[in-house]
Amino acid sequence: MTKTTALPWRDVLPGDKLHTITGDVRVIQAFPIPQLQTTRRVWIYLPRSYHEGTRRYPVLYMHDGQNVFDQATSWGNEWGVDETLEHMTVHEPELEVIVVAIDHGDNERNNEYNFAINSEYGFGGKGGAYAEFLAETLKPHIDSCYRTCPGPEHTMIGGSSFGAYISLYTALRFPDRFGRVSGISFVMWQDQGAMIQLIQRSVSSPALRLYLSIGELETDNADFNRTAHEHVELVRQTLLAAGVKDSQIRCDFILGGTHHESTWGPLFTEAHRWLLGLPG
C-alpha cells in the first residue's frame, strides 16, 4: 500500500462521528504535494456505473474537499455533491462524473487559493504551486488509476469563493489540461487586477466552458456585493475581448443568493449540466 492508495471512506474516517457520505467515495488520507512540501486529504467519488463496464468518465476537480461530501468534516455545511450526483444519474447516466476533492490547507487556504499576494491583508502567493500540483501531480495520478477521459474538454475544475478564483486561474494556466470551469460566488476583490491581467495575456483552451455565479446577498455590505457582481461581468468582458466566444461563458446572478453552501449546493446541478453541454 502506497501513500496514494485510495481506501473506502469507512476505512479511513473516524467512526465516532455521523458521516453523511453517499455512494462509492474513496479517501487518500495524506496525498503528497511536493510543490508545497506538504500532504493533503483527497476524496474520490466514483460514478454509479463505474464497476459495471469499461466506460471512461469526465473528471471534476473540486477544492475545499472537507465540505464536498460529508457534514462531519465540513466547515459549516456540506455541498452534498455525492447525494446530488447519485440522484441526478439514476435516469441520466450521461451526467456521471468522477469527482476528486482536495481538502483546503486550513490556515494556508487563502495563500494556496490565490496566486497573487495581497499586500494589504498579507495572504496569497502559493496559488501557482497549488495549480502545478493539480496539473502535474494529482491529475496524472487520477488519469493513471481510474478510467478517465483525460482531455481538457472532459476535465472540469470548480469551487466557490477563493475556490472559484483558483479554478479559473488553474484553467488559464494549464489550458491543455483543464477546459471546463465552475466558479460559484466568484470573487477577485483581493487580487489588485492580477486575474484580469492574466486573462489578457493568456491563450485559453478551445474547449473552455466557464460558469460563473455571484449572489445578490454575498455579504451584508451592499457596495461589496455590487462590486463583486461587476467583477464577474468584467471577467466575462475581458474573456470576450481575448477571443473567447460568448457561447462558452455563462454568468448567473442569483437573486437572494448568499456566500454559503445553502446557495452553492443547489447551484451545482445547473453548473454541472452546463459544463457538460447538456440541457437544464
pLDDT digits (tens, 9 = 90+) for 13-49: 988 889 999 999 999 999 999 999 999 999 999 999 9
The pLDDT value recorded for residue 280 is: 66
Is the pLDDT score of 75 beyond 90?
Answer: no
The pLDDT value recorded for residue 19 is: 97
- Quick check: helix, strand or coil at residue 85? helix
> How far, rounded to the nearest angstrom, does the alpha carbon of residue 238 sit from its chain's CA centroid?
22
What is the mean pLDDT of the segment spanning 196-218?
94
Is the pLDDT score of 241 beyond 90?
Answer: yes
Q: What is the mean pLDDT of the chain?
A: 96
Measured between its terminal Cα atoms, the distance across the chain in Å is 42
What is the mean pLDDT of the segment spanning 242-252?
96
- For residue 213, what pLDDT band results from cuts at 50, 70 and 90? very high
Q: Is pTM beyond 0.95 here?
A: yes
The pLDDT value recorded for residue 16 is: 83
The pLDDT value recorded for residue 279 is: 75
Sheet holding 24-33, edge to edge: 7-8, 24-33, 38-46, 98-102, 59-62, 155-160, 180-184, 209-217, 249-258
Work out the percent of the chain whose per-residue pLDDT is above 90: 93
Residue among 240, 260, 242, 241 at smallest CA distance from 250: 240
Phi-psi region of 76 (alpha: psi -120 to 50; beta: other; left: phi over 0): left
**All three cell numbers of 185:** 460566488
What is the mean pLDDT of the segment spanning 63-80?
95
Give bridge partners of residue 102 from the DSSP assignment. Answer: 42
What is the pairing mode between strands 38-46 and 98-102? antiparallel
Work out the percent of the chain whose per-residue pLDDT is above 70: 99
What DSSP state is assigned to residue 246? G
**All three cell numbers of 41:** 486529504
Is the pLDDT score of 1 beyond 90?
Answer: no
The pLDDT value recorded for residue 211 is: 98
**All three cell numbers of 53:** 463496464
Q: How many helices (H) and strands (E) does the chain have?
A: 8, 9
Is the pLDDT score of 249 beyond 80?
Answer: yes
Contacts 24+ apart (CB under 8 A), 84-89: 84/265, 84/268, 84/269, 85/23, 85/45, 85/47, 85/272, 86/22, 86/23, 86/48, 88/269, 88/272, 89/47, 89/48, 89/49
Q: Which residues contact 197 (CB under 8 A, 6 or more apart)?
A: none
Q: Which residues contact 46 (CB under 8 A, 6 or more apart)?
A: 23, 24, 25, 26, 98, 146
* pLDDT tens digits along 82-136: 999 999 999 999 999 999 999 999 999 999 999 999 999 999 999 999 999 999 9
